[in-house]
Amino acid sequence: MKVEDIMTKDPVFLHDTDFMTHARQIIRDHNKRTLPVVDSKKRVIGMLSEKEALNIYSTKSNVTVEGFTAVSPEVYPDMDILHAAKIMVDADVGRVPVIRSGQDKTLAGILSTVDIFRNLDLDRSPGKKIEDVMTRNVKSCSPEDSIAKVWLNMKETGFSGFPVVKDGQLVGMVTRRNIIRAGYARIEREDEHGTKSTMSPPVEKVMSSPAYTLSSQTTLKDAIKAFIKLDVGRLSVVSDGTLIGIVDRNDIIKAFI
């Protein structure tokens, strides 16, 4: 199966001249973690992620998308989907723009990990369980932690989400998407509500609760079904309510291929 058979052919995209404040709004309105960025001739110059959107400091900012765009790996419509999946795993990305060819950088579509999940032959899934592929040393936060503190931790670690733990029990998940939706995308200085970082509200105000979870004994096949159904980037792994690990889409794809 080829990339062109499963990609989204009319994706939402940004122009390199768009303001970052506009980009943040598009990411929030369309519920996208990343968006392709094109020039005036619709040639792909890279991708913009939620992480870059969170660097916006003012609702009146005149900073454009171009300076925040990250280079993305090249994927073509005639490429085999498992080859494309390996490229995505190696680059540690969940979505890539599909360009027409190595010479023609025109945007042809978007390929995501979810697209690949939906078209895998799940009956050929490796005989592994979540405990074989999950990350065990999990970075978490407390519901009482300030959003400003969690955002700084996201910047320092590169993680896009943290499980929220209280009294040893998993109570929720906080992600960049939660922060953007709630309007606290610039809490290092001032957010949409006029809240200074020193007045930043607690994580429990924006976290998703209850958190979606898996058992360590869940098979890869069932985990893929869960990711497709829930449309999330990561799932917490628990035992009797206690957080013991975390697994993301790329962990699953890597194990599959």
- pLDDT at 188 exceeding the cut of 70: no
Question: Which residues have C-beta within 8 Å of that of residue 105, sequence separation ≥ 6?
Answer: 43, 44, 99
Domain stops at, among 74, 93, 118: 118
Angle between helices 249-256 and 81-91 (to 10 degrees): 130
| Among the listed residues 176, 194, 175, the one whose alpha carbon sits nearest the alpha carbon of residue 185 | 176
151 and 176 share a domain? yes
150 and 50 share a domain? no
CA distances to 69, 83, 96, 121 from 3, rounded to whole Å, are 23, 9, 11, 15
79 and 149 share a domain? no
CB 203, CB 154: distance < 8 Å: no
- pLDDT at 133 exceeding the cut of 50: yes
110 and 134 share a domain? no
C-alpha torsion angle, residues 76, 80, 85, 91 (rounded to 10): -40
- pLDDT at 154 exceeding the cut of 60: yes
Retrieve residue 126's tokens: 């490796």
Give the Cα separation of 187 and 196 in Å (integer). Answer: 7
pLDDT digits (tens, 9 = 90+) for 18-57: 998 888 888 878 878 789 999 999 999 999 987 777 666 5
Retrieve residue 217's tokens: 């004994």
134 and 113 share a domain? no
Domain stops at, among 88, 118, 148: 118
Give the Cα separation of 34 and 66 in Å (integer). Answer: 14
What is the CATH classification number for the domain harbouring 97? 3.10.580.10
Domain of residue 180: give its range: 130-256
| Among the listed residues 122, 113, 61, the one whose alpha carbon sits nearest the alpha carbon of residue 92 | 113
- pLDDT at 60 exceeding the cut of 70: no
Retrieve residue 142's tokens: 């407390």
Mean pLDDT for 70-99 is: 93
Domain stops at, among 52, 83, 118: 118
79 and 101 share a domain? yes
67 and 149 share a domain? no
User: pTM of this prediction?
Assistant: 0.75
CA distances to 27, 69, 218 from 51, rounded to whole Å, are 11, 11, 30
Q: Hey, which bits of 105-239 come out as E strands?
A: 107-112, 161-166, 169-175, 213-215, 234-239
Residue 191's pLDDT is: 45
